[in-house]
Amino acid sequence: MSRDTGKITNNDATSDTTNHHISNNQAIPQSRQQLIELCLAEGRLSSTDAAHFRKFCELLAAYYHFEFYQIEEALKVNYAPFNPDANPLLSQSVDAAQRAHMESALLDLLAQTLQRANYRTLDWVAIQQAVRQADLVDIKTEIDFHDYEQLLLFYRGEADSSGSRQKLLWKQQIKMKLYSNVILGLKFKEKEYFVKSGRKLDRLTFRPGSIYLYLYKDIPQNDLELLFPNVQLYMNWFDRVLFVVPALGAGISMLIKIVPNMLLLLGVISFLLFGPAFSERLGVTESQIHDASPVLFAFTSVLLALGGFAYKQYDSYKNKRILFMKNVTETLFFRNLANNSSVFHSIVDVAEEEECKEAILIYYHLLIHDRSLTQAQLNQSIQEWLARCCNVQSEFDTRKVFARLQQIAAEIIPPGAVQPRTVSLLRLDSNQLCHIPPLIEAKMVIDKLWDSAYHVL
């Protein structure tokens, strides 16, 4: 999130801001169920263990669903005072101190959830570079970031893409990145700011002090500015030159011709308006008026030609503007997946799916290996397996899920034991080797956690 914002055009300087940074892009394209079937298809587990493993994955998915349900509820509770779709009275019922606390909690929890969903941050410099990139429609855009108190931009998944735009008589090829999923968050400043800047509150298309959230799919890097609601369109310098320079040249040429005949033109106008008597007072006779006809004809021709050229240039600019707005419409309408509070459900669902898949892969690879592995060896093993079985070059990193699996623990009585002991789904020994409990014990751990999920007095 960014607190220091400014105005960006195609050639503006950069500005320093602070952001929630997210790393590790290791999204796995297969679904959780597909991943389970791929593991079982290897035949590394006996039929009994395969049945236990399938049940373990089912229980683990249910446990993650319960955990992320609580996260989604916390997000919605903290978002309530900033939700532009909610009743304004709800925001007014929260005092300033509580509002600030809820905003901080919302942003921190949102950043953590996005990290667990394998989203990455586009920081302030990257946003500026993306906005300054050449658009597919050759038109100047400008975004005034002073309206925003907070700004976040996350993406998940990227690919190389290309496009073309018309450049005079030829098409220019543009290479760019394509972001599979983009989340944009904007907090507008309070209404006092807009009052001081001379803007009427009843004409604003947004609610000051609110946080707007948007989720889009398949957004080219060069089209990121289309996502901002206050993007402004202007003629580029080339259009301005074509519009202004010929007009100035024709105007100067016309003035040179007109100045010597200005009195004659005044006489013609007075003759047409007031009759011959008045024009004769200016020293202009009727014969001179007839001789002025070529001058008037030339003047009219130049004026019409100039007006026609100006209209043609303006019409060209309007066509570019219409094409640009068409791109905006297609981006905002056809690529929009969710808005405001509904964004939470989408990202929580992805985070739940991604983290559960990663936990399953970690447990499975420790289960099938005959020897204990370090974290680095485990990472390597999973990356090789994904490349071989899923044709995926993933930057798999166990660190994000590792700590969570160590925390999933319960006190159980393992089969054949008499005394209960605490068992976690993952532990590290003194040599930093990874260890997991057998499938039966792993299922018992999750079952015990389910039993104690709700404490009824």
3 near 17, Cβ under 8 Å? yes
Tell me which range, 87-101, 122-136, 189-203, is most confidently predicted by mean pLDDT: 189-203
Give the pLDDT confidence of 72-111 residue by residue, as tens digits.
999 999 999 999 998 877 777 888 899 999 999 999 999 9
Tell me which range, 188-197, 217-226, 342-351, is most confidently predicted by mean pLDDT: 342-351
Q: Flag whether pLDDT at 37 surpasses 90.
A: yes
List the beta bridge partners of residue 246.
Answer: none
Q: Flag whether pLDDT at 335 surpasses 60.
A: yes
Tell me which range, 15-24, 165-174, 258-267, is most confidently predicted by mean pLDDT: 165-174
pTM for this entry: 0.74
H/E stretch holding 157 reads strand 148-167
Of the listed ranges 63-67, 156-160, 232-236, 344-348, the least confidently predicted one is 232-236
Give the pLDDT confidence of 368-395 residue by residue, as tens digits.
998 889 999 999 999 999 988 888 777 7
Query: What is residue 79's three-state secondary structure?
Result: helix
Identify the pLDDT of residue 69: 94
**What mean pLDDT comes out for the span 38-67?**
95
**What mean pLDDT comes out for the span 267-277?**
64
Query: Which residue, 324, 347, 319, 331, is CA-closest to 27?
Result: 347
Of residues 100 and 223, which shows the higher confidence score? 100
Cα–Cα separations (whole angstroms), residue 339 to 37, 223, 224, 225, 343: 34, 19, 17, 17, 6
Identify the pLDDT of residue 23: 40
Of residues 305 and 105, which shows the higher confidence score? 105
**What mean pLDDT comes out for the span 218-230?**
82
